[in-house]
């Protein structure tokens, strides 16, 4: 302890195992991120819910206004909440991680902080934030009786985790690539806008013409979203997905992401 004239025995800081250190560091980074992003006054935190809520309200309004045209029986609020939350997951994780290294570079002077920790902290925070907004919105709309209870909660959870995994793998890959090639960091936002309309935010796969559906289902996030939606209101829709494909894709993406991050780790040389 400082200031009492005594110092600790040699090697004391080296004795914890790496899992303990990892958890500690990621936790500390996560709290730091939380504070710097949302600040002390909790108004910043509210935007987490307000933004998706506005989206859901607008979609619901348009849908209800055009009910006479499409005559569909899908529970629209459930459709909008699941769609937008899934979009938040796979779009925000990569954008938070691309360039995260630059603002945290000086932290690498602490022996136990690694580049991977920086990314994991952001991924976890994003996952927690999106999940919180998903759950809070669902409960809110449920109490307003706009939203039915999920038919299979476990399947919804499974779909959500698959989406989160996809987001994490994508985030690591985009982050690793953007450290290697600046241009990737800049191209990701426009690219994510391109993906948005075909990723199922605003349609279910069954509504597409078969040819187009086949192509769209190459997107893992659409598969995961279909699975999630089937868990929520499967009796009202025909879902199309291939879980094996999503898992294989996620595995490959995670592997690519981790190896790219490792390369970054070996090459970092600034500050």
Partner 1 sequence: MIKLTDVSKDYLTKAGWRRILSGINLTINPGERIGILGRNGAGKSTLIRLISGAERPTLGTIERNMSVSWPLAFTGGFHGTLTGADNVRFICRIYGVDFEPRFRFVEEFSDLGIYLNEPVGTYSSGMRARLAFAISMTIDFDCYLIDEVIAVGDERFRNRCKVELFEKRRDKAMLIVSHSHRYLKGTCDRFLLFNEGTIEEHDDFEEVYFRYKATLGEAFESKEQMIAAMQ
User: What are the structure tokens assigned to 246, written together?
Assistant: 């999503």
- Is there a contact between 170 and 94 (Cβ–Cβ < 8 Å)? yes
Say whether residue 110 binds partner 1 (CB under 8 A): yes
Closer to partner 1 by CB, 24 or 67: give it: 24
Site for partner 1 in 178-197 (CB under 8 A): none
Q: Could you tell me how many residues of this chain bind partner 1 (CB under 8 A)?
A: 37
Of the candidates 241, 219, 217, 218, the residue with the CA atom closest to the CA atom of residue 229: 241
Say whether residue 27 binds partner 1 (CB under 8 A): yes
Say whether residue 11 binds partner 1 (CB under 8 A): yes
Say whether residue 73 binds partner 1 (CB under 8 A): no
Radius of gyration (C-alpha) of the chain in whole angstroms: 21
Say whether residue 16 binds partner 1 (CB under 8 A): yes
Choosing from 49, 60, 99, 112, the residue that interacts with partner 1 (CB under 8 A) is 112
Residue labelled with tokens 């920086």: 118
Q: How far is the CB of 32 from partner 1 (least distance, A)?
A: 5
Rounded Cα gap, residues 21 and 1, in angstroms: 20
Say whether residue 269 binds partner 1 (CB under 8 A): yes
Say whether residue 268 binds partner 1 (CB under 8 A): yes
Site for partner 1 in 28-57 (CB under 8 A): 28-29, 31-32, 35-36, 39
Helix (H, G, I), strand (E, B) or coil at 65: helix
Say whether residue 209 binds partner 1 (CB under 8 A): no
Say whether residue 266 binds partner 1 (CB under 8 A): yes
Closer to partner 1 by CB, 74 or 108: give it: 108
Say whether residue 259 binds partner 1 (CB under 8 A): no
| Distances from the Cα of 189 to the Cα of 7, 93, 94, 98, 176, angstroms | 50, 12, 9, 10, 15
Choosing from 43, 65, 71, 109, the residue that interacts with partner 1 (CB under 8 A) is 109
What one-character DSSP code corresponds to residue 111? T
Q: How far is the CB of 260 from partner 1 (least distance, A)?
A: 16
Q: How far is the CB of 225 from partner 1 (least distance, A)?
A: 35
Choosing from 66, 106, 238, 259, the residue that interacts with partner 1 (CB under 8 A) is 106
| Distances from the Cα of 237 to the Cα of 17, 107, 219, 221, 230, angstroms | 49, 49, 20, 18, 7
Query: What number of other Cβ atoms are within 10 A of residue 259's Cβ?
Result: 13
Polymer length in residues for the chain: 271
Residue 101 half-sphere exposure, CB side, CA atoms within 13 Å? 24
Rounded Cα gap, residues 59 and 65, in angstroms: 10
Binding site for partner 1 (CB under 8 A): 1-3, 5, 7-8, 10-14, 16, 20-21, 24-25, 27-29, 31-32, 35-36, 39, 106-113, 265-266, 268-269, 271
């Amino acid at each position: 302890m400082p200031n009492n004239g005594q110092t600790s025995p040699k090697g004391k800081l080296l004795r914890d195992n790496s899992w303990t250190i990892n958890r500690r560091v990621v936790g500390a980074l996560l709290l730091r991120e939380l504070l710097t992003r949302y600040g002390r006054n909790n108004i910043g935190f509210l935007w987490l819910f307000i933004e998706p809520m506005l989206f859901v309200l607008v979609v619901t309004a348009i849908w209800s206004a055009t009910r006479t045209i499409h005559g569909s029986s899908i529970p629209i609020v459930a459709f909008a909440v699941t769609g937008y939350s899934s979009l938040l997951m796979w779009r925000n994780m990569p954008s938070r991680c691309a360039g995260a290294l630059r603002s945290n570079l000086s932290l690498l002077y602490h022996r136990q902080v690694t580049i991977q920790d920086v990314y994991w902290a952001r991924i976890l925070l994003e996952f927690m934030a999106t999940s919180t907004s998903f759950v809070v919105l669902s409960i809110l709309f449920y109490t307003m009786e706009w939203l039915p209870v999920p038919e299979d909660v476990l399947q919804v959870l499974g779909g959500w985790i698959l989406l989160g995994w996809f987001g994490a793998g994508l985030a690591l890959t985009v982050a690793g690539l953007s450290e290697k090639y600046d241009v990737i960091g800049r191209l990701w936002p426009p690219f994510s806008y391109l993906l948005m309309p075909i990723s199922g935010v605003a349609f279910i796969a069954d509504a597409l013409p078969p040819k187009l559906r086949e192509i769209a289902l190459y997107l893992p996030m659409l598969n995961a979203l279909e699975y999630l939606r089937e868990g929520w209101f499967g009796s009202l829709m025909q879902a199309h997905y291939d879980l094996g494909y999503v898992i294989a894709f996620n595995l490959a993406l995670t592997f690519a992401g981790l190896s790219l991050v490792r390369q970054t780790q070996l090459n970092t040389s600034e500050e």
